[in-house]
Amino acid sequence: MRRALRKLFQGLALVLGVTLISFLLMVYFGPDQTFTLVGKNASEQQIREVRRQLGYDQPFVVRYADYVGGLFTLDLGASHSSGEPVRGILGRTLPVTLALVLPGFVLGNLIAIALGLVAAWHRGGWLDRLISGVSVAGMSLSFLIIVIALQVLLCTPYGLNLFPARGWNVTGPASYVQYVTVPTLSLLLATLGYNTRFFRAVFVEESGREHIRTARAFGASPAEIMVRHVLRNSLAPLITRTLFSLPLIVVSGSLLLETYFGVPGLGRVTFDAITNGDQPVLQAVVGLTAVAFVVVQAVTDGLYRLADPRVQ
């Protein structure tokens, strides 16, 4: 009970800290939307009315309290650019983003786990050196370079021209595969090197333990050793790595993918909000990302107990 309360307070402190810093930056360094909304030749009365509607006439503490309260009640206000409720924008764009990034996220982790197991079993051999070398080479490539190269190679007449270069006109499974393939490959190649190196290090450490050497001595098969013993006993760091990277992939990964592929998801909305100075959208994205990390932390603790009942 005490540990659960401590985790709860830590989560609340994280949310309050992130939201406070982001709110301070947006209030004191963000653009003032007053004259963008009132236009030219506005009267003082019109200016005061717009500032009242935007909340600029309220003290900082009141504005911050309204912001935090809106996060927990999902009353996120309206976009300054379009006037659409921010909750509606997020509800419309988040499913598109999840449909875009989840295939690459899942495949990237599964393939990295398989490669890490193979490299750990052949530690020091040519196969281990090959996997490690390719992983380091993949880590050295920029995400942007990967996106542009695959887009040119697979989506334009200069290459194979097999997939649409931009857009998200998904009407069924076939069109979904057409639009999601290149972004999935981009995310897969961008994250595979990092994931493989991390998982290999975890599996190598676990495979050097005494019970693994005992299983080898008793003639257990490589598949049984690596899957039943090494992989199972490495679930804690695997869960941490996988779950804590999900919010970052959804926000930062989708921002680049959706901008270059013209996908109307959360990343594209965030990019447009940054360029337009749309503070309600930015505040909602930053605040809900912090909340997502707290939720992920709670889910991770629960999965720890399922993976290893000894964790209390």
Break the chain into its structural domains and give their ranges.
2-73, 91-278+286-307
**What element of type H or E holds 116?**
helix 86-121
Q: What are 12's strand-pairing partners?
A: none
Q: What is the pLDDT of residue 205?
A: 92
- C-alpha distance across the termini of the chain, in Å: 11
Q: Please, are residues 42 and 54 in contact by the beta-carbon 8 Å criterion?
A: no
Rounded Cα–Cα distance for residues 182 and 179 (Å)? 7
Do residues 112 and 192 touch, judged by C-beta distance below 8 A?
Answer: yes
Q: Which residues have C-beta within 8 Å of that of residue 127, sequence separation ≥ 6?
A: 118, 119
Q: Helix, strand, or coil here: 85?
A: strand
Residue by residue, DSSP assigns 206-226 as HHTSHHHHHHHHTT--HHIII
Class of domain 91-278+286-307: mainly alpha
Mind listing the pLDDT tens digit of every residue in the chain (312 residues)?
A: 676 677 777 777 878 888 888 888 877 777 777 776 776 777 788 878 878 877 788 888 888 888 888 888 888 888 888 889 999 999 999 999 999 999 999 999 999 999 999 999 999 999 999 999 999 999 999 999 999 999 999 999 999 999 999 999 999 999 999 999 999 999 999 999 999 999 999 999 998 888 888 888 888 888 888 988 899 888 888 998 898 898 888 888 899 999 999 999 999 999 998 888 888 898 889 888 888 888 888 888 778 777 766 655
Choose among 189, 233, 227: nearest CA to 209.
233
DSSP letter, residue 243? H
Q: Which residues pair with 85 in a beta bridge?
A: 78
pLDDT value, residue 257: 94
For 229, the token pair is: 């013993």
Q: Any alpha helices (H) in the chain, and if so which ranges? A: 2-29, 34-38, 44-54, 60-73, 86-121, 126-139, 143-155, 173-207, 210-217, 222-223, 232-233, 235-248, 254-261, 266-276, 279-307
CA atoms in the 13 A half-sphere facing the CB of 278: 25
